[in-house]
Chains A and B, each alone.
Chain A
Amino acid sequence: MEGLNYIGAGLIVIGAAFGIGKIGSSAMDAIARQPEASGKVQTAMLIAAALIEGIGFAALFAA
Chain B
Amino acid sequence: MRREFIIKKIAFVLFLVSTVSFGQHHEAPHAAHSEGHSASEKGITKEYVKEFIGHHLLDTYDFGLYSYTDEAGHESHVGFPLPVILWDKASGLHVFSSSKFHHATTVAESNGAYFKVFHNKVYVTDAEGAIQMDEHHHATNAKPLDFSVTKNVFVIFIVCVLMFFIFTRMAKSYQKSALPSGFGRLMEPIILYIRDDIAIPNIGKKHYRKYMSYLLTVFFFVWIINLLGLTPLGVNVTNNIAVTFALSFITYLLTTFTANKSYWGHIFWMPGVPTPMKFLLAPIELLGTFIKPFSLMIRLYANITAGHIVLMSILGMVFIFKNWIGSPLSFGLAFALSLLELLVAALQAYIFTMLSALYFGSAVEEHDDH
Chain A interface residues toward B at CB < 8 A? 43, 46-47, 50-51, 53-55, 57-58, 60-61
Is A57 in contact with B347, judged by CB distance below 8 angstroms? no
Is B197 in contact with A50, judged by CB distance below 8 angstroms? no
A57-B306, A60-B306 given as contacts; is B351 within 8 A of A47 (CB)? yes
Q: Which residues of A are found within 8 Å of B242, using beta-carbon distances?
A: none
Say whether chain B's binding surface is mostly helix, strand, loop, or mixed.
Answer: helix
Q: Which of A46, A47, A51, A58 contacts B302 (CB 8 A)?
A: A58
Q: How many CB-defined contacts (below 8 Å) exist between A and B?
A: 35
| Chain B interface category by residue count | 10 to 19
Would you give 29 A-B contacts (Cβ < 8 Å), ordered by A? A46-B350, A46-B351, A47-B351, A47-B354, A50-B299, A50-B351, A51-B295, A51-B299, A51-B351, A53-B299, A53-B303, A54-B298, A54-B299, A54-B302, A54-B303, A55-B295, A57-B298, A57-B299, A57-B302, A57-B303, A57-B306, A58-B295, A58-B298, A58-B299, A58-B302, A60-B302, A60-B306, A61-B298, A61-B302
Say whether chain A's binding surface is mostly helix, strand, loop, or mixed.
Answer: helix
Chain B interface residues toward A at CB < 8 A? 197, 295, 298-299, 302-303, 306, 347-348, 350-351, 354-355
Is A46 in contact with B298, judged by CB distance below 8 angstroms? no
Chain A residue with minimal CB distance to B348? Answer: A50
Report Cα–Cα, A55/B292, bound state, in Å.
11
Q: Which residues of B are found within 8 Å of A58, using beta-carbon distances?
A: 295, 298-299, 302
